[in-house]
Structure 1
Amino acid sequence: MYTRCEILIRQKSLGVMGSSDTEKTCWVEPDFFLSDDNSDTIIQKAETHQLSVKNPDRLFISLDHNIQDNSPSNMARYEKIRRFCEIKSLTLFEAGEGIGHQLLIDGGYIRPGGLVLASDSHATIYGALGCLGMAVTRTDAAAIWHSGGTWLKIPDTVLVKLTGQPGKNVHGKDIALYLAHFSDQGLFLNKAIEFCGDAVAHISLNDRLTIANMAPELGAVAALFPLDEKTTEWYRAALGISDEIREQAFQVIEDFSHSLEEGCYQQVIEIDCGHIPPMIATPGSPMNSRPAFEANENPVYINKAFIISCTESRFVDLSRAARILEGKKVHENVELYISAASHQEQLKAETAGIWQILLDAGALALPSGCGPCIGHGRGVLGKGDVAISSSNRNYSGRMGHPDSKTYLASVEQVAYSALKGKLSIVPEAPLTVQKQISGLEIRHFPDTESEDLVSGLPVSECPDVIEGGVIVCRFPKINTDMIFPSQYLDGRPLDRHVLATIAMENYDTGFRDLVRKGDVLVAGPMFGIGSSREEAATSLAAAGIQCIVAASFQSVFARNCTNNGLLCIEAPGFTDFLLSTISPRLLSVRSSSIVRINLSDKKIEYEGRLFSFEPKSSIENAVRHKGGLLNYLKEKNYV
């Protein structure tokens, strides 16, 4: 038996159904693929490699990240994307229509039992509707545009049983942040999450969208909810779905209702939702989450508040905020910004009078798009700003200046805090919290040698030995906003020299003075967690890094490395040893020793000690050996 996530991936694979259980890498053709403002770099890749476009009816581009930027460079970038869509017949969502993920949902393109990929990490949101959504990279995007598919690793899956019933004023954001509280040690890292249990019936479809959207903040690669009466009703009313497709969708729902076998899952976790209080994430990471009352023990005054993003700014969310703000005014020291997930969601709010209630309370409206969530446009945080937001990430510098602070919470807490001028809990919210995950069961798959569903080039064709100097970055969970700040993702030209100077800017400004060509970067767990931005990998390569060795990687970051020919190795024994030798006062340090990595023997030699690491799949080795995915496709005669 397979998990539901694995079934959906295998159904989209080329000729792999019925293959052995040990096969974990496959070539898939998704139902649909979405890219965004980053499409200009995908177009550049396509033009450089002279790629044609296959299946344009499955390809979508959404202008949503930097829509408030009217500079000539950004306008030229958007015009380039528009021309490409017109010539190649891709579907374009224009600036102001909304965030691409929400637009695919609004348009009825998300279907039960489907597989939809995107070059944006929050593609996981589709799992709320029983459609597997996963993030890939821009290089994958060029491959999908041209060949119709790309490679995927089938992830291990964790089954999360939600029991009980959420309390008053406890919603999807609180459940997501509660899970994040237990994700700090990698509980969900690079795994898919499937939800089940009697509490699911009490969780609205809107809250499921919020929870699934925040799977990347847990370190997960996907999140999948069961198909039940709530999703069935949604699909009955969904736009853009024909009777024939709707009938097929209901058959998938029926099939899914009989496919759950706990023994297939790597872990089974049981959580009583009745014990989850309103949650808040303190600045630095969504994993810094805790019961909201703990963060309110001492007053924390704010000057900005945000109800924005694909996480929690749909009609239902805006309605919840309006119930708190109706007839009242936002605190005089606070600017409250609102931006609907899509223009369609905003129209619903306008028709119901919700939007006007928020404006009358003093909210400042932004066009529908990503905006401040990724540090673009009006409302971005300045030095010293303290904000609370309904968005998904609060990494340093994510929403503006690195010396600002962002707290994450539900729209109710955002609205109530904006009203009070400080972090505040909505009255009558439950104050108890379950300190441990209950009913934790771990089921381990037997250790077997993993095969590939895609035949790659022999591992022996990859270089056998790598030697280089060592740069050690001590901080754990170095995220993509630390590696490559979001403010540089505005369409400006980024050649290798510029990329090299930006690398690790929000982590350690001294990094650029330490690094030398041919170095090996060594880091702790969850390296590269966060965004799917390709520059996080390519900037390190441009700076001279030839290999990254970490205790663990976030899978999309590792994928970016592989697809661009940069080697990354997981070797926790080696990294633990090396990190233990560094002063806790230092962010980065250059070792005086050389590291030698033997890829054939899977050994790392450092100062007379040997450390082992797990091998890559043959396709990962083949892609890296050819200098990246597009060169690999050329070798395999896809290009």
Structure 2
Amino acid sequence: MWCRAVAAVPWTRVLGRSTRRCLCVQHQIRSQRQQHSSRRPLTTTTTDRATSRTPTPQTLTEKIVQRHAVGLPEGRIVRSGDYVQIRPARLLTHDNTWPVAKKFMSMNATKIKDSTQPVLVLDHDVQNQSETNLRKYELIEAFAKQHGLIFFRAGLGIGHQVMVEELFVWPGTLCVGSDSHSNMYGAIGSLGLAVVRTDAAAIWATGTSWLQVPPVVKLTLTGRLPHGVTGKDVILALCGLFPTDVLNCAVEIVSSEETMASLSVDDRLTISNMSTEWSATSAVFPVDRMLERWLRQRASEAARDETRTTRERITNERIDELYAHPAYTQADPGARYAKQIYLNLSTLSPQITGPNSVKITTPLSELALENIKIDKGYIVSCTNSRSSDLKAAAKVFQDAAKTSGNGKIPKIADHVKLYIAAASLNEQRTAEKEGSWQSLLDAGAIPLPAACGPCIGLGAGLLEDGEVGISASNRNFKGRMGSRLAKAYLASPEVVAASALSGTISGTGVYEKPENVDGIEYGYGTGSPVTPLTELESAFEQLDSLIDRVESSILKDDNAAKASTSTQILPGFPKEIKGEILFCDADNLDTDNIYAGKYTYQDDITKETMAQVCMENYDPDFGAVAKPNDILVSGFGFGCGSSREQAATAILARQIPLVVAGSFSSIFARNSINNALLGLEVPRLVERLRATFLKSDKVLTRRTGWTLAWDIAQGTVKVQEGEGGEYWEEKVGSFPVNLQEIIAMGGLTDWVKHEIAKTAA
């Protein structure tokens, strides 16, 4: 097993990163816009624990990974930071299935290891009726039939919605998808994680893939969601209130039954889905009575409808078994978390994020005063296009009809286009039966297929230069939904509907601010009243967690001293990388900026074209400035957003061998490793560059004249700040040998191919 625990900092981080104690302090946000500056997240280190060590309580994330880990030494307890090999219960692929299949075949694999794992759903480029795209869909369907795989044709729904409503996802299991919004499965108590195309091919071939168990953050929700406030408002608020606190962390959500009763399963699906934009790797809700009622309803539907295959996966007996063993889906008492945060739902009001950022959150009551004119509205995507969302949006028009006195559904504003698409055909049929779909059509909404579309920048209705859009989807990155010169905001479906009706960003008027509420109550800790005892308990918990991480990061073998000064370098892996620093001064530089969505499903795009379009959404002049062997340096949260692996391969196509950032999105880091692109986190370098080159200069891509040399064997970064400038060095973590092996072979595809050949021999 190559994915074993290693005593090294992963992919690779600066040593000596400070930790922060979780303080039980309470914050109040009053009527002002919040855009927090990025800071380094609290992380745990990887571990090399002896199997004889006394078992410690596990978080739910650790427990689920433990159940799906393979090849562990007897008695080994999985903890955050460990590298493990996992066998997921399910694996979703969508329009990227054919590229995955080509990778699978390039590995010399001929048979799917476990045909119960893959679920294939065509959903992303459904509106594209070109001969090329239709041929690709035919090839995918033929591949599914050849290997006996679960397959859903185009138009039946978005993959994540299909995974949930067809119950391919189950509480307490580990389910992955070759898409960044696989986090959505956490809404029903599953650990949903995103993998990338190469991972998907490897899982098809071997049944397994590698995982570094993320740090775990505990989110405590208190209070109850007020009338007129939705699950979308919860996640939009979290993105603005805690913009960097959960970067690359798994989130486990806890609360009382009373609090959870105010969050429907559909609300939870929205929150878990958009935890990706919050920068979390997952967001798992409790397996509570609300979820049980939802599961029972689906079991009854499955029993009644002989055409639904869900009866193969959900029965009341299976639900009985699930709830008979609550420890299966709960963290152990005393489980240790990287940090704890809380949010009081009772203090929330409708929220808006944007423009062009999910981390700029503004109360709707404030933004509505600015009378921002919109051109397009969208109630689309797997985030907020279930029948309950469409019903909430339709109610805006239905209420307006009642108010008018004539009972006639009013039309949307003359200058506005409103696009609607259900998350699945089943959800659309439900909306049709309830009358919601027809009400939206009567208002002038433009229907789109039950699939992806404008959310990813594909198909009809994209934003054009200078336009303003408001969407109930999950991403409003610059250029994501069309032109990079457009502005996009995110809101709940009812706010999108109200805005389309009025022609400006507006609310429904339903929300009433509770008495004695002055801003959002949130902070570090659990939200419980602070007492000397709770402060002491918090201090001990954090100290214990810190000691555990420090102890576990110490090398246990006799070569510890040697390992601390020199890293083993495998044949084919570079000992040093050196080049001029090319600085792109931006935090959260997302994958849509690195490699635009409109190219993602052009499977025949050449390497030369990939190089030309690399970073064009961020800076159209990037290609004219960048040179081969430059070292690309950017800010914090680099590579957030989509799981598209072209974000890494396009940088390689530009002949850039190394990316340095303050921090990376875990999905980009995974893509980079799998495709042999090296990355390094050096926050000090970002801070030095920003101190020297001011943002006010408005240079998006800057040739700095600085040079960086990474001595990988010695674990040292050497920076020369231009001719005659300061020279400094900094120790960085060693690069794990097991990951060196992947990169030295040219990426995970060639590594798996080599492993298959060894097995065959």
TM over 0.5, yes or no? yes
State how far apart, in whole Å, the 2-side matches of 1:606 and 1:381 are: 42
2:60 and 2:330 in contact (8 A); partners too: no
Q: CA 1:575–1:430 in 2, change beyond 3 Å: closer, same or farther?
A: same
Q: What residue in structure 1 maps to residue 706 of structure 2?
A: 593
Q: What residue in structure 2 maps to residue 529 of structure 1?
A: 640
State how far apart, in whole Å, the 1-side matches of 2:709 and 2:205 are: 38
Pick aligned residue for 2:359 from 287, 298, 316: 287
Pick aligned residue for 1:98 from 143, 146, 157: 157
Matched, 1:27 2:85: yes
Pick aligned residue for 2:107 from 49, 52, 56: 49
State how far apart, in whole Å, the 1-side matches of 2:363 and 2:666 are: 29
Matched, 1:155 2:217: no
Pick aligned residue for 1:139 from 195, 198, 205: 198
State how far apart, in whole Å, the 2-side matches of 1:449 and 1:609 are: 30
Q: What residue in structure 1 maps to residue 65 of structure 2?
A: 9
Pick aligned residue for 2:606 from 469, 474, 495: 495
Q: Deviation of residue 553 (structure 1)?
A: 0.2
State how far apart, in whole Å, the 1-side matches of 2:551 and 2:617 are: 40
Matched, 1:269 2:269: no
Runs of 4+ off more than 6 Å:
none
Q: CA 1:22–1:301 in 2, change beyond 3 Å: closer, same or farther?
A: closer
2:260 and 2:290 in contact (8 A); partners too: no
Q: CA 1:449–1:95 in 2, change beyond 3 Å: closer, same or farther?
A: same
Note the residue ranges of structure 1 that are not aligned, 5 or more in a row. 453-457
State how far apart, in whole Å, the 1-side matches of 2:126 and 2:418 are: 19
Q: Deviation of residue 22 (structure 1)?
A: 6.9
State how far apart, in whole Å, the 1-side matches of 2:334 and 2:496 are: 38
Aligned residues: 633
The TM-score, its normalising length taken from structure 2, stands at 0.80
Give the secondary-structure state (helix, strand or coil) at the position aligned to 1:113: coil
State how far apart, in whole Å, the 1-side matches of 2:463 and 2:109 are: 40
State how far apart, in whole Å, the 2-side matches of 1:502 and 1:491 are: 13
2:106 and 2:753 in contact (8 A); partners too: no
Q: Deviation of residue 427 (structure 1)?
A: 0.6
Q: Deviation of residue 250 (structure 1)?
A: 1.5
Q: What residue in structure 2 maps to residue 170 of structure 1?
A: 229
Pick aligned residue for 1:384 from 466, 477, 480: 466
The within-5 A match list for 1:181-220 is 181-184=240-243, 186-198=244-256, 199-220=259-280
State how far apart, in whole Å, the 1-side matches of 2:127 and 2:472 are: 20
Q: Deviation of residue 15 (structure 1)?
A: 3.6
Give the secondary-structure state (helix, strand or coil) at the position aligned to 1:56: coil
Q: CA 1:359–1:598 in 2, change beyond 3 Å: closer, same or farther?
A: same
Q: Deviation of residue 469 (structure 1)?
A: 2.2
Q: CA 1:520–1:247 in 2, change beyond 3 Å: closer, same or farther?
A: same
Pick aligned residue for 1:236 from 286, 291, 296: 296
2:477 and 2:592 in contact (8 A); partners too: yes
Deviations 1:442-470 (A, max 9, x none): 73433245599xxxxx8421322111222
1:173 and 1:210 in contact (8 A); partners too: yes
Deviations 1:32-77 (A, max 9, x none): 1001111121122122222232112221111101100111221122
Q: Deviation of residue 245 (structure 1)?
A: 7.1
Give the secondary-structure state (helix, strand or coil) at the position aligned to 1:344: helix
1:24 and 1:451 in contact (8 A); partners too: no
Pick aligned residue for 2:743 from 611, 624, 631: 624
State how far apart, in whole Å, the 2-side matches of 1:544 and 1:433 are: 53
Deviations 1:342-397 (A, max 9, x none): 00000111112221111111111110001110011111111122111100000011
Q: CA 1:245–1:499 in 2, change beyond 3 Å: closer, same or farther?
A: farther
State how far apart, in whole Å, the 2-side matches of 1:400 and 1:66 are: 15
Q: What residue in structure 1 maps to residue 490 of structure 2?
A: 408
Pick aligned residue for 1:445 from 546, 549, 573: 546
Q: CA 1:621–1:492 in 2, change beyond 3 Å: closer, same or farther?
A: closer
Structure (1 or 2) with the larger CA radius of gyration: 2
Q: Among all aligned residue pairs of Structure 1 and Structure 2, give the percentage whose two residues are the same amino acid.
A: 35
The TM-score, its normalising length taken from structure 1, stands at 0.95
The within-5 A match list for 1:288-307 is 288-307=360-379
State how far apart, in whole Å, the 2-side matches of 1:511 and 1:387 are: 27
* One-letter code aligned to 1:209: L
2:225 and 2:348 in contact (8 A); partners too: yes
Deviations 1:568-605 (A, max 9, x none): 11111222223322232211111323311011222110
2:420 and 2:447 in contact (8 A); partners too: yes
580-589 or 152-161, which moves further after superposition?
Answer: 580-589
Give the secondary-structure state (helix, strand or coil) at the position aligned to 1:10: helix
Q: What residue in structure 2 maps to residue 455 of structure 1?
A: none
Q: What residue in structure 2 maps to residue 221 of structure 1?
A: 281
Q: CA 1:248–1:602 in 2, change beyond 3 Å: closer, same or farther?
A: farther
Q: CA 1:492–1:140 in 2, change beyond 3 Å: closer, same or farther?
A: closer
613-622 or 326-335, which moves further after superposition?
Answer: 613-622
* One-letter code aligned to 1:478: L
Q: What residue in structure 2 maps to residue 509 of structure 1?
A: 620
Q: Deviation of residue 263 (structure 1)?
A: 4.5
1:112 and 1:249 in contact (8 A); partners too: no
Give the secondary-structure state (helix, strand or coil) at the position aligned to 1:545: coil
State how far apart, in whole Å, the 2-side matches of 1:218 and 1:596 are: 33
Deviations 1:186-206 (A, max 9, x none): 111000111111222221111
Give the secondary-structure state (helix, strand or coil) at the position aligned to 2:126: coil
Deviations 1:120-176 (A, max 9, x none): 011011100001100011000110110011001101111111000111111100000
604-613 or 477-486, which moves further after superposition?
Answer: 604-613
Give the secondary-structure state (helix, strand or coil) at the position aligned to 2:689: helix
2:171 and 2:329 in contact (8 A); partners too: no
State how far apart, in whole Å, the 1-side matches of 2:681 and 2:651 are: 17
The within-5 A match list for 1:347-358 is 347-358=429-440
Give the secondary-structure state (helix, strand or coil) at the position aligned to 2:218: strand
2:610 and 2:653 in contact (8 A); partners too: yes
Q: CA 1:437–1:620 in 2, change beyond 3 Å: closer, same or farther?
A: farther
Q: CA 1:628–1:245 in 2, change beyond 3 Å: closer, same or farther?
A: farther
The within-5 A match list for 1:427-438 is 427-431=509-513, 434-435=519-520, 437-438=522-523
Note the residue ranges of structure 2 that are not aligned, 5 or more in a row. 1-56, 303-309, 399-408, 527-537, 556-566, 721-726
Deviations 1:241-261 (A, max 9, x none): 254871575147622466343
Q: What residue in structure 2 maps to residue 479 of structure 1?
A: 590
2:386 and 2:427 in contact (8 A); partners too: yes
* One-letter code aligned to 2:650: S
Deviations 1:406-457 (A, max 9, x none): 11000110111111110002214245663562353773433245599xxxxx
2:107 and 2:752 in contact (8 A); partners too: no
Pick aligned residue for 1:421 from 503, 513, 535: 503
* One-letter code aligned to 1:168: H
Q: CA 1:609–1:245 in 2, change beyond 3 Å: closer, same or farther?
A: farther
Pick aligned residue for 2:579 from 442, 448, 468: 468
Q: Deviation of residue 477 (structure 1)?
A: 1.3
1:477 and 1:529 in contact (8 A); partners too: yes
State how far apart, in whole Å, the 2-side matches of 1:258 and 1:88 are: 36
Q: CA 1:436–1:82 in 2, change beyond 3 Å: closer, same or farther?
A: same
Matched, 1:338 2:420: yes
Matched, 1:255 2:327: yes
State how far apart, in whole Å, the 1-side matches of 2:394 and 2:334 are: 41
1:115 and 1:132 in contact (8 A); partners too: yes
State how far apart, in whole Å, the 1-side matches of 2:656 and 2:333 are: 44
